[in-house]
Structure 1
């Protein structure tokens, strides 16, 4: 398994992009906000989404992707949920994002790479549900076949995995239902962590090779 986490793994020099975009400040880059807030907020019927970009090119492209997960950790400052009340669970979804991400310039209006305002939800990959008012908790966005395929597709392309994360139900505008996550630049082992397990493509067995050789001989004799 290999993990991608800023300042930690695969090496202390590893960096990746992670930034929130928000409708309230649609033209303002939020990279210096100190956190990544995702969900809904009452003021201005606001939507907040997270954009993430991981360079995973160190994974051998000839190998099989066995599992993929993403860990996000909430801040010591709680999120707010006034949709379902105290203890209610909020679901957040991860999708592919087909456009380049630059955390230093991305805004809601101009996410970057030619993406439309707010970014674009690509293929649904996975989700996690939890109480956003619980602080300093690490939440695992679990493995799925779609997540594995997204990693394989990224490796077959430019080696960059691009993701967008949002509240599962953005129709509840005018409410507070958001989580505050630790960002990639300030938290070490609490920063976003992408983990990928992979294995080598098995070599053909000796028995299989002998069988193929025998079949070829039979075919030649029949000609």
Structure 2
């Protein structure tokens, strides 16, 4: 059976159209889990990254530690989380946050550090406080880097969220895991394809947002 036949079998199945195993339902579960993980990672990593980038403290240590954190095996963390906390959303959210947070931390830190020193000096010269300089000058300047980091983190989280199925949760990983378990290759192939398409669509969306992230004044200044 060729790939086109597999896709036709997968997408035409009645279960893919309605019910808890429908494509719409599984995509919704996948996006909800990915969005929760990404939102938690943003709340944890971005403020810390902005602060460290502005002060310039421990920037090298941040890069080294985040590089080590990104090397952690996600499936191993899922297994460990299940053993510690039991089966549930936390068993997947913890590893996904650990995957996304280092990317966002480095993006925020390096984005602020790359701010034109003359702009920072000028902002301080007109009487802005350090929090105001960070908020009004450094954050807009760092926004493209932040969005690029967010794009990378989002794609990684969406691609990796398939591991939720290994601990009995939903999402597009259900098609892959259940298909492999029953040797239903059309379901496995269709599920894998949907994950790829969702990741590509996410990357394109963030790439589009990144084009319009930098204010016109700063864009001219950089040019």
| TM-score, normalised by the number of residues in structure 2 | 0.23
Greater helix content:
2
Highest RCO, 1 vs 2 (Cα 8 Å, sep ≥ 6): 1
| TM-score, normalised by the number of residues in structure 1 | 0.23
Greater strand content:
1
